[in-house]
Structure 1
Amino acid sequence: MDLPDPQFSEFVTAFLKDRGLPVEDLQFHSLPSDGSKRLFWRLSPQSDTSFVAMENTPTDDFSKRENVAYLMIGRHLFQKDLPVPEIHHFDLANGWFILDDFGDASLQESALPKERRISLYESAIEILFRIQTEGVEGFNTEWCCQTERYDQYVMQRYEANYFRDAFLHKYLGLKKDWPELENPFNHLAATASRADNQFFLHRDFQSRNIMVSAGKIGILDWQGGRLGPLAYDLASLLIDPYTGLSSSERDEIYQHYLRFLNKYDPRQVEPFRKYFPYLAVQRNLQILGAFSFLSKMRGKTFFEDYISPALKSLRHLLEDLKDPQLSPLKEAVHS
C-alpha cells in the first residue's frame, strides 16, 4: 500500500481537526489511479464520514497547470450544482487536495446487470448534457491545462499520432512511419473540426469516471476540460470498451441524447448526426493510443485487456462510415 509522506499526512490531519473530526488511528486507504500518475487515498475519520485525499506532485509545468485546472474547473462545475465532488481543502504548491468521497461503484461495475444498464446510462446522459451546456456558461479557458479548445491540433497530436506511434508502432511492433495515413488523418481531423465546438468538453467521459451511489450519478476527472463539440463526450461513453455496450444499447442511448439535444436546439441535431461518426473515430484512436502506452510504457497491464475490443470498435466505426478518404486507415487496422 502506498503511504503518503508525513507532510501530506499533516495537511490532512490539520483539515480534519479544523472540522472537529477525530484523527486518532486515522488510516489512509489507497485507491486505484487507473492511467494517472496521481495518488488517491480514502480517509474515514468516523463511520459516517469519509473524504478522498489526492496528491499530484507538481514536478513539471504541465502538472502545475493540471492542478490549477483540477481546482478551477472542479469549483466551477460544483458551483453550477453539477454532480462533481466538492473540493474542501487544497495546497497547489504541493498538489494536495481533499474532496468529497463518491464511493467505489463506477458505472462500469454498476452497469453489469443488463436490466439496470439503460436507466443508468440515461441518467448519465442527462448529467452529460447539463455539463456540456451549463458548464460552458462562465467557463474560463485560462483554466485549461492542455489546450483551450478541442481542435485539429489536439486531434492530430494527441489522438491520431498517438494511435500511430503508441499502438501501431510500439504496441503492435509495426513500422514507425506511416505516410499513407497522413491524408486520412488530415481529412478526419478537418471533418471532425467542423462540428460546433462552443460547449464544455470533459474529454474523458467514460464509465470509470462516472460514479453511481444510491442510483445517483457523480462525475470525476474533469481536469482535461476545455471547449469542444457535443458529440465527442457522447462518443467516449458509447464506445467505451470497459462496458461493452451492444449496438442496440448504443443506439438507444444515442437516441436518448438526441431527444435532449432536440429540446435544447433542434438546429443542432443534423450537424450533430453528421459529425458524430468522425468524432467517434477520433476518440477511438485516442483510446487505442492511451491503452497501448499505459500497458506497454507504464506497465499498467490492466488496460491491455481492453485493446482488442477497442480495435474491434474502430473497425466497426470505419466500416459504418464508408468514407473512401479513410480507406488507408481502414486497411491499416485490418492488417
Structure 2
Amino acid sequence: MSDRTMRLTAWLGAQLGAPPLAMTAVAGDASARRYWRIELGHRTLIAMDAPPEREDGRRFARIAAAWRAVGLNLPQVLAADFEQGFLLISDLGTKTFLEVLDAERAERLYRDALGALILIQDRAPTTGLPAYDEALLRRELAIFDDWLLAGLLGLSLRDGELRALATIRDLLVDNALQQPQVAVHRDYHSRNLMVSTPSPGILDFQDAVLGPLTYDLVSLLRDCYIAWPAERVQAWLHDYLDLAQERRILDPGLIDRVPRWMDLMGVQRHLKAAGIFARLKLRDGRPGYLADIPRTLDYVLAVARAYPELAPLADLIDGRVVPAFRAARAGGEERTT
C-alpha cells in the first residue's frame, strides 16, 4: 500500500468513524484520479483520490452540487479534504452504459442520455464555467499533431499538408464558435454514464465549459468507445432536435444547420481524442487506449469524405496515418518517447 493510499485510508476512517470494511479499486478514467468502492455493510460509497497538483477537487465538488440542484444525477460529495485531494462521494452504481449496451437496451439508455443532455443544456448553470474559446480549441487540435502524428507515428507533414490542415483547423474552430453556447460536459459518452436511478448517473464532469451546442451530442452519438449504424445515429439526432425545440434550446431557424455543426464538431473532437489516446500510451504508459484510435479515425474519415473542404484531411488520414498506425501496431513499434 502506497503512502498516499495509507493517508487516504486514515482519512476515511476519521470521516466514517471506523476503517472501511473493504476498499476495492474501481476502474477510473483517463485522468490522474483514482477511485475505491468502500463497503459499509448496508451501502457502498466511493473514495476519490484527486492529487491536488494535478486535479481540482473544488471544481469537481462545485459542479456536482450545481448540476445536482437542477435534477441531474451526479455524485454527492459527502466529505472532502481539498488540500490532500481526498473526496468521499456517493456511489452511482457498478455498470457503465458501455458495459451493458446492446441493440435492445440502446433505445432506452440513449433516450435517458439525451434527456439528461437536454437538461444540462437547458438548466445547468454556466456562471463560472470557462469558455470553450478559440485558444482552447486550437490547443486541443494540436494534440493530434503532437502526440499521434509526431509522437506515436513519427510522421512529418509536407508543406502542402501543413497549409491544408491550417485551413481546416480554421474551419473547425469557426464551426464551434458560431454555434449556440451552452453548458458542455465535455466527455459525455458511454463510459461516463452509469446505469443508475435516475438514469443516467453522470461521471467525469469536472472539466465542463461553456461551449458549442453539438459537442456533447456528437460525443454521445459518435462515441469513441462504441459505434452505431448511421441510420440509428440519425434517428437519435432527430429525437434530440425534437427535445431541443420543445425546451427552446435551439431556434427552429437553426435546425438545418445542426447536422453540419455536429459533423465538423465531431472531426475536432475525434482528432483530439486520437491524440489523447496516443498521449496516454506515450506519456502515461497506458497502451490500452490505442485500440480505440481506429474508431476515432473512421469517424473523421467518414465526415471528411463527405465534405470537399475536408478532402486534404481524408487524404492524409487514409493515405499516411492509417497505414503508419497499422504498421506500428503490427510490428509493436509505436514510439515510446
Q: Deviation per CA, 1:33-55, whole angstroms, max 9, x where unpaired?
A: 23111111110111x31100101
Contact 2:193–2:203 (CA<8 Å) still a contact in 1? Answer: yes
Contact 2:120–2:183 (CA<8 Å) still a contact in 1? Answer: yes
Percent of aligned positions with the same letter in both sequences? 26
The answer on 1:194 being equivalent to 2:175 is no
Contact 2:305–2:311 (CA<8 Å) still a contact in 1? Answer: no
Q: What is the match of residue 305 of structure 2?
A: 319
Equivalent of 1:50, from 23, 44, 55?
A: 44
The answer on 1:116 being equivalent to 2:102 is no
Q: What is the match of residue 78 of structure 1?
A: 68
Q: Deviation per CA, 1:59-80, whole angstroms, max 9, x where unpaired?
A: 25xx3xx222111111111122
Q: What CA distance in whole angstroms lies between the structure 2 residues aligned with 1:287 and 1:250? A: 20
Q: Deviation per CA, 1:166-218, whole angstroms, max 9, x where unpaired?
A: 11111222116762321211222123211111x10000001100001368211
The secondary structure found in structure 2 opposite 1:186 is: helix
Deviation of residue 296 (structure 1)?
2.7
Q: What CA distance in whole angstroms lies between the structure 1 residues aligned with 2:318 and 2:16? A: 55
Normalised TM-score (structure 2)? 0.87
Q: What is the match of residue 119 of structure 2?
A: 130
Q: What is the match of residue 143 of structure 2?
A: 162
Contact 2:20–2:38 (CA<8 Å) still a contact in 1? Answer: no
Change in Cα spacing, 1:25 to 1:11, as seen in structure 2 (3 Å) is closer
The one-letter code of the counterpart of 1:122 is R
Change in Cα spacing, 1:328 to 1:53, as seen in structure 2 (3 Å) is same
Contact 1:261–1:268 (CA<8 Å) still a contact in 2? Answer: no
Q: What is the match of residue 217 of structure 1?
A: 200
Q: What CA distance in whole angstroms lies between the structure 2 residues aligned with 1:314 and 1:261? A: 26
The answer on 1:36 being equivalent to 2:25 is no
Q: What aligned pairs does 1:204-283 form with structure 2 within 5 A after superposition?
A: 204-213=187-196, 216-265=199-248, 266-283=252-269
Contact 1:2–1:30 (CA<8 Å) still a contact in 2? Answer: no
Q: What is the match of residue 288 of structure 1?
A: 274
Q: What CA distance in whole angstroms lies between the structure 2 residues aligned with 1:2 and 1:52? A: 19
Change in Cα spacing, 1:217 to 1:182, as seen in structure 2 (3 Å) is same
Q: What is the match of residue 91 of structure 1?
A: 81
Q: What CA distance in whole angstroms lies between the structure 2 residues aligned with 1:25 and 1:59? A: 26
Change in Cα spacing, 1:274 to 1:313, as seen in structure 2 (3 Å) is closer
The one-letter code of the counterpart of 2:224 is P
Change in Cα spacing, 1:155 to 1:259, as seen in structure 2 (3 Å) is same
The answer on 1:184 being equivalent to 2:168 is yes
The one-letter code of the counterpart of 2:215 is Y
Q: What CA distance in whole angstroms lies between the structure 2 residues aligned with 1:128 and 1:295? A: 31
Equivalent of 1:140, from 127, 134, 159?
A: 127
Q: What is the match of residue 325 of structure 2?
A: none
The secondary structure found in structure 1 opposite 2:24 is: strand
The secondary structure found in structure 2 opposite 1:200 is: strand
Which segment is superposed worse, 235-244 or 167-176? Answer: 167-176
The answer on 1:297 being equivalent to 2:280 is no
Deviation of residue 244 (structure 1)?
1.7
Alignment gaps of 5+ in structure 1:
18-22
Q: Deviation per CA, 1:64-114, whole angstroms, max 9, x where unpaired?
A: xx2221111111111222111111111111111111111221010121x21
Deviation of residue 233 (structure 1)?
0.2
The one-letter code of the counterpart of 2:210 is L
Deviation of residue 297 (structure 1)?
2.3
Q: What is the match of residue 332 of structure 2?
A: none
The answer on 1:105 being equivalent to 2:91 is no
Q: What is the match of residue 20 of structure 1?
A: none
Deviation of residue 232 (structure 1)?
0.5
The secondary structure found in structure 2 opposite 1:115 is: coil
Deviation of residue 268 (structure 1)?
4.3
Q: CA RMSD in A?
A: 2.0
Contact 1:118–1:249 (CA<8 Å) still a contact in 2? Answer: no
The one-letter code of the counterpart of 2:212 is P
Alignment gaps of 5+ in structure 2:
320-337
Q: What is the match of residue 12 of structure 1?
A: 12
Deviation of residue 306 (structure 1)?
0.9
Contact 1:171–1:296 (CA<8 Å) still a contact in 2? Answer: yes
